Structure 1
Amino acid sequence: MKRLSLAPLRPLALPFFLGILTVAGFSPFDIFILPVVTLALLFRVLRQAHGHWTASRSGLVFGLGMFGAGVYWVYVSLHDFGGMPLPVAVVVTALFCTVLALFPALLGALQGRIGGTPTVRYLLVMPALWVALEWTRGWLFTGFPWLALGYSQAPDSPLAGYAALFGVYGVSLLVAVSAGALALLGERPLRKGLALALLAGVWLGGWGLKQVAWTQPVGEPVSVSLLQGNIPQEMKWRPEKTAATLKLYRDLALGSRGRLIVMPETALPLFIDQIPRPYYESLAAHAVELNGDVIMGAPEYDGQHYFNSVLAFGVEPVQLYRKVHLVPFGEFIPLKPFGPWLVHQVLNIPLDDFARGADNQAPLRAAGQKLALAVCYEDVFGEEMIRALPEATMLVNISNDAWFGESVAPWQHLQIARMRALETGRYMLRATNTGVTAILDQRGATVKIAPQAEITRLDGMAQGFSGATPYVRWGNLPVLAALVLMLAAGRWRRR
């Protein structure tokens, strides 16, 4: 009997390991230099590959390692909390990671067709292709920009200084250019000099930009209270638990002395019109006593559509924000009529067909601030978050990350929030059901953070800011223009 040989798999072991190692660059590990090193090594693997198919396979296994290690928590959401049978959850998670891995596979397939010399390929073609594919992943099929390399640099890396200019994709581009320069160090001496000069310029420039104040404080700091109810996901929608949940959040709110009291996404397991009037009035009276307001997450039904909404009330008139960017299958059903079968027969999702809120909703006025709201997943999309700016003075993200259990996902989500603070030059308030609840300053640094998986109230101070960073003014346009120019230059140099 002929022995099975593992020899064909050995060349794929390195890119797979590099993909796994890349995840350590993100929270909660925060080794921000790692993605630069792993991407540099991937670039060298791709350039040395024999043929487009070999390079594509190397890119694919890098992606499988990166997304398998970085978004494995999809399985936790589907199986542990969504009720999906274990074999099905494993298959769905594997398919999801494989689809995401197709983007690095495309990098492998395309880089050899565009770039010629090592300098052109490392410094122009590969970085531009990586970020172009990352940007595409951020909007295709509603988008999944999780683990964009730029997030790994927030908030401590010198490259985070570029976030206010170019956003997360601009930071990703500089990570990729740095990786290309590092890969170029293995080439001839003249190229080593170019690579070292480029690395020094990019990283010293980022350090200098971190010293720039792009926005200015406006008004006095405001006292805030972020409520974390720590309601287990499997208990959240049980009717017999409703009264206990209402009491828990009322007690947390009434014990607060903050002018701005913020509850998590769908904190109350009732539709807004089902909330008992005495309950609402007691919270409103407490807020008025403090000359402040309450921000409450709750589902809404307007007689025709369901919305994942945020209610603001207190000193200011009652206001509503309706979530715009919905999660496929979790909040709306794509691919009808097949979607309902998956949601109702395979998953255990209580509310599954929300309607989108209107684009360009005005910031909510509360406690003397103008708040740019993001519900859960919405803060992953920086280009959407800046719609409320520069009018908004503060960012607020309410979320229910209980779906992720004790995985790395809540910490990755916190790092994404840090990037939004850096991009906009605004404080970010995160109120979550189970964590990570935090107050972040305009540089993405932690002002105060609550312990995860505990019933708690995070009390602190937050400062409003005015002004517009370059990213707020221009969004992703400068980066997209740079990608076009880099790819065009790479193609021209090949001719």
Structure 2
Amino acid sequence: MQNLKWKKFYIPVEIKNNFNIINKAITDNYEAIVLPESAFPLFLNLHQDLMQKLKILSQKIVIITGALHYKNRKFFNSTYVFENGKVTILDKHLLVPFGEYIPLPFFEKEINHLFFADSSDFSVSKKFGEFKIKNYKFINAICYELTSEDLYKLKPNYVIGMSNLAWFNPSIMPSIQEMLIKIYAKKYKKMVFHSINGFKSQTIK
């Protein structure tokens, strides 16, 4: 369904599926739920109706989800954490070269024009994000960030990661990512909760 995910007519289906998953988790008495990267394929903070619904549901369950974030005329790939009616937004720190930004500043506009319909590069946060759930501290990681050794050097023992790997099916990329996560998680004694779109989600330690 990756070819439909970002189509305007299909976005309501994605949103409905997300809320069904969240409500089922509430029914099953889970304390928290982690949806994948870009689970909401839109600039979530610009849709106050959805934000309000998620804030209300977060009185019953902690909701961690991926979505786009628009701020100060900049675009971010972000994690939204809804808990007790409040939201924390953590923007991605490491972007994918040629996927989320063009690492050739002199040709950035030309390449975006030729291959990405004049879209702009994503912006980044100054550092990896961290957040708390019920007094437990987590490192935030979005897809490519999960393969960075620097992320695992941070002090919190827990990582919540989210990926949209449906783009890479079929591909060995998910296996390479999993291998690197296992190496770094073991080396730095981390527990990684990884929510994945297109492949089976994992807990790695």
- TM-score band w.r.t. shorter chain: 0.7 to 0.9
The question of whether the paired residues in 1 share the 8 Å contact of 2:15 and 2:40 is answered with yes
Q: Distance in 1 between matches of 2:199 and 2:58?
A: 24
Q: Describe the SS at the equivalent of 2:166.
A: helix
The question of whether the paired residues in 2 share the 8 Å contact of 1:316 and 1:366 is answered with no
- In the TM superposition, residue 321 of structure 1 has moved relative to its aligned partner by 1.2
Taking a change above 3 Å as real, the CA distance of residues 352 and 247 of structure 1, as seen in their structure-2 partners, is same
Aligned residue identity for 2:142: V
Instruction: Provide, for residues 313-368 of structure 1, a one-character-per-residue CA deviation record: whole Å limited to 9, x for no partner.
Output: 122742121111111221112223423333342357x965111102254x211244
Counterpart of 1:182? none
Instruction: Provide, for residues 380-431 of structure 1, a one-character-per-residue CA deviation record: whole Å limited to 9, x for no partner.
Output: 11123323x1xx2411111111221122211221222212321222221111
Q: Distance in 2 between matches of 1:315 and 1:302?
A: 23
The within-5 A match list for 1:20-169 is none
Counterpart of 1:354? 122
Counterpart of 1:271? 43
Counterpart of 2:58? 287
Question: What is the number of residues matched between the two proteins?
Answer: 202
Q: Does 1:326 align with 2:90?
A: no
Q: Describe the SS at the equivalent of 1:239.
A: coil
Q: Distance in 1 between matches of 2:128 and 2:3?
A: 34
Aligned residue identity for 1:371: F
Structure having the higher helix fraction is 1
Question: Equivalent of 1:431, from 188, 195, 199?
Answer: 195
Question: Equivalent of 2:20, from 251, 273, 276?
Answer: 251
Question: Equivalent of 1:416, from 154, 167, 180?
Answer: 180
Quick one: percent identity of the two aligned structures?
25
Taking a change above 3 Å as real, the CA distance of residues 352 and 384 of structure 1, as seen in their structure-2 partners, is farther
Q: Distance in 1 between matches of 2:52 and 2:198?
A: 26
Counterpart of 2:107? 338
The question of whether the paired residues in 1 share the 8 Å contact of 2:66 and 2:80 is answered with yes
The question of whether the paired residues in 1 share the 8 Å contact of 2:45 and 2:51 is answered with no
Q: Does 1:260 align with 2:32?
A: yes
- In the TM superposition, residue 242 of structure 1 has moved relative to its aligned partner by 1.0
Q: Describe the SS at the equivalent of 1:439.
A: strand
The question of whether the paired residues in 1 share the 8 Å contact of 2:152 and 2:185 is answered with no
- In the TM superposition, residue 260 of structure 1 has moved relative to its aligned partner by 1.6
Taking a change above 3 Å as real, the CA distance of residues 360 and 403 of structure 1, as seen in their structure-2 partners, is closer
Taking a change above 3 Å as real, the CA distance of residues 328 and 384 of structure 1, as seen in their structure-2 partners, is same
The within-5 A match list for 1:325-404 is 325-346=94-115, 352-359=120-127, 361=129, 363-387=130-154, 389=155, 392-404=156-168
The question of whether the paired residues in 2 share the 8 Å contact of 1:329 and 1:343 is answered with no
- In the TM superposition, residue 249 of structure 1 has moved relative to its aligned partner by 0.6
- Point out where structure 2 has 5 or more consecutive residues left out of the alignment: none
Q: Distance in 1 between matches of 2:119 and 2:168?
A: 18
TM-score, normalised relative to structure 2: 0.87
Q: Distance in 1 between matches of 2:8 and 2:94?
A: 28
Q: Distance in 1 between matches of 2:176 and 2:17?
A: 28
Q: Describe the SS at the equivalent of 2:105.
A: coil
Where relative contact order (Cα < 8 A, 6+ residues apart) is larger, the structure is 1
The question of whether the paired residues in 2 share the 8 Å contact of 1:253 and 1:283 is answered with no
Q: Does 1:313 align with 2:82?
A: yes
Aligned residue identity for 2:36: P
Q: Distance in 1 between matches of 2:44 and 2:166?
A: 21
Aligned residue identity for 2:63: V
Aligned residue identity for 1:358: K
Taking a change above 3 Å as real, the CA distance of residues 415 and 426 of structure 1, as seen in their structure-2 partners, is same
Q: Distance in 1 between matches of 2:189 and 2:97?
A: 30
Taking a change above 3 Å as real, the CA distance of residues 250 and 240 of structure 1, as seen in their structure-2 partners, is same
Mark the structure with the bigger radius of gyration.
1
Taking a change above 3 Å as real, the CA distance of residues 322 and 385 of structure 1, as seen in their structure-2 partners, is farther
The question of whether the paired residues in 2 share the 8 Å contact of 1:331 and 1:351 is answered with no
Instruction: Provide, for residues 436-471 of structure 1, a one-character-per-residue CA deviation record: whole Å limited to 9, x for no partner.
Output: 41122x3xxxxxxxxxxxxxxxxxxxxxxxxxxxxx
- In the TM superposition, residue 284 of structure 1 has moved relative to its aligned partner by 3.0
Counterpart of 1:302? 71
Q: Describe the SS at the equivalent of 1:238.
A: coil
The question of whether the paired residues in 1 share the 8 Å contact of 2:165 and 2:197 is answered with yes
Taking a change above 3 Å as real, the CA distance of residues 242 and 351 of structure 1, as seen in their structure-2 partners, is farther
Q: Distance in 1 between matches of 2:137 and 2:101?
A: 29
Q: Distance in 1 between matches of 2:20 and 2:134?
A: 20
